[in-house]
Amino acid sequence: MTNRMQGLESACKEYEEDLVLHYYGENSEDDRRRIAQHLSACERCRVFVDDLRRVLPQMAKAEEMPQSFWDSYYRETVAKLAEQEERKYWWRSWLTPVRGWMVPAFGTLAGTVLVVGLLFGKGNLGSFVERPSRNIPQEITADSNQLEFFSTMDLLESLDKLEQQDGTQSELQKTHSSRVTLYKGIA
């Protein structure tokens, strides 16, 4: 069986890299001359370059897609871009309904609600201001009494005062008891 495929021949080792660059036209002018000179004398390297010319373009052959594919590709990409932009500025969608004409509309609505509220609430406005004390729950009243109690505790500001007060009282008691003893003695 004859194989239709022909592989790449090996080239002279020291020239191989230069031959690849030569195929791609990426050699300097000096290298190009040197390679051309070598190729004219070396059959192996000539075959190598011929193989590159035969094989590499076939590998690079791009799939040709129909025009409809590219049209669809373009449309999809533009749509994806728009979607990406939409996601990027998602907060704009919140502001979008607030258009120019909606500002006075909301203002009018708010004004109307206020006027209606005042009209129907007229004469009953005091109920919002003056709250009857009887409505205050007992627990709160009890708490307020406790607060009054605690306000008298302001006198006892510190332990020092307490101790001082305590010391003065004991001295007074001593004085008092000594006076009582004295009076008893006199009597």
Partner 1 sequence: MIEPQNIGDEELVALCQQGQKDYFEILIRRYMEKAFHIAFNFTRDTETAKDLSQDAFLRAFANIKHFDGRSSFYTWFYRIVVNLCLDHARRRGRVSWQSLDDMGDEPGVQQQLADVTFAPDQEAMAGEAKRKADATLEAMPKKQRTAFLLRNHQGLPIADVARVMKTTEGTVRVYLHRAVAALRQSLVEFV
Q: Is 76 in the site for partner 1 (CB under 8 A)?
A: yes
Cβ 6 to partner 1 shortest distance, Å: 6
Alpha helices in 27-158 (DSSP H): 29-41, 43-59, 67-88, 92-95, 102-121, 126-129, 138-152
Cβ 51 to partner 1 shortest distance, Å: 8
Cβ 74 to partner 1 shortest distance, Å: 6
Q: Is 140 in the site for partner 1 (CB under 8 A)?
A: no
Q: Considering beta carbons, is residue 57 or 123 the nearer one to partner 1?
A: 57
Task: Give yes or no for a contact between 22 and 49, defined as CB atoms under 8 angstroms apart.
Answer: yes
Binding to partner 1 (CB under 8 A) within 80-109 occurs at 80-81, 84-85, 88
Q: Which of 18, 46, 45 is nearest to 32 (CA)?
A: 18
Non-local CB neighbours of 179 within 8 Å, separated by 6+ positions: none
Judged by CB under 8 A, which stretch of 55-63, 110-118, 137-145, 157-165 contacts partner 1?
Answer: 55-63
Binding to partner 1 (CB under 8 A) within 8-37 occurs at 8-10, 16-17, 20-21, 24, 26
Cβ 87 to partner 1 shortest distance, Å: 10
Per-residue DSSP letter, 27? S
Tokens at 88, concatenated = 């990027």
Which residue type is seen at 181?
T
Judged by CB under 8 A, the residue of 12, 36, 78, 114 near partner 1 is 78
SS3 label, residue 91: coil
Judged by CB under 8 A, the residue of 12, 31, 44, 77 near partner 1 is 77
SS3 label, residue 48: helix
Distance between CA atoms of residues 54 and 7, nearest Å? 10
Q: Is 6 in the site for partner 1 (CB under 8 A)?
A: yes
Cβ 50 to partner 1 shortest distance, Å: 11
Q: Which residue has the tokens 């008893």?
A: 184
Binding residues vs partner 1 (CB under 8 A)? 3-10, 16-17, 20-21, 24, 26, 51-52, 54-56, 58-66, 69-70, 73-74, 76-78, 80-81, 84-85, 88
